[in-house]
Amino acid sequence: MFASVKKSPERLQVIERVTQWTRERFKLPKEAVISVSEIACPLPGCPPLETVVVFWMAEQRYQFKLFKPVEEVVIDDIPYAWLKDALAVPEGFVSDCC
């Protein structure tokens, strides 16, 4: 279930801010691909909206979730760089969300 897509200039700025914080936190090169998405979760106990950040480095995918809408994300929500290895998605892993 995806939340409705809002493409206002303000929303694009918020997504770019989270992208930039991720790039800086993990010292990602300019060519690294970063995706910031907001998804709706209909399951009991899930937050209504969560932010999913995915990035790729040297053919390795990394991902983390923030249990709040993208507009509410602050820099302190981005995981510390030393956690990067724990964010790696194993090859062949399939997720229902992203």
41-85, pLDDT tens digit by residue? Answer: 888 888 899 999 999 988 899 999 999 999 999 999 999 999 999
Query: Two tokens at 51?
Result: 């932010």
For tokens 């206002």, the residue is 8
Question: pLDDT (tens digit, 9 = 90+) per residue, 28-44?
Answer: 999 999 999 999 988 88
Which of these, 75, 30, 31, lies nearest to 53 by C-alpha position? 75
pLDDT at residue 51 in the model: 96
Please report which confidence band the pLDDT of residue 95 belongs to, taking 50, 70 and 90 as the band edges: low
Residue 1 confidence class, pLDDT cut points 50, 70, 90: very low
User: Cβ of 15: how many Cβ atoms within 10 Å?
Assistant: 20
The CA distances from residue 6 to 2, 31, 38, 47, 83, in Å, are 12, 26, 10, 19, 31
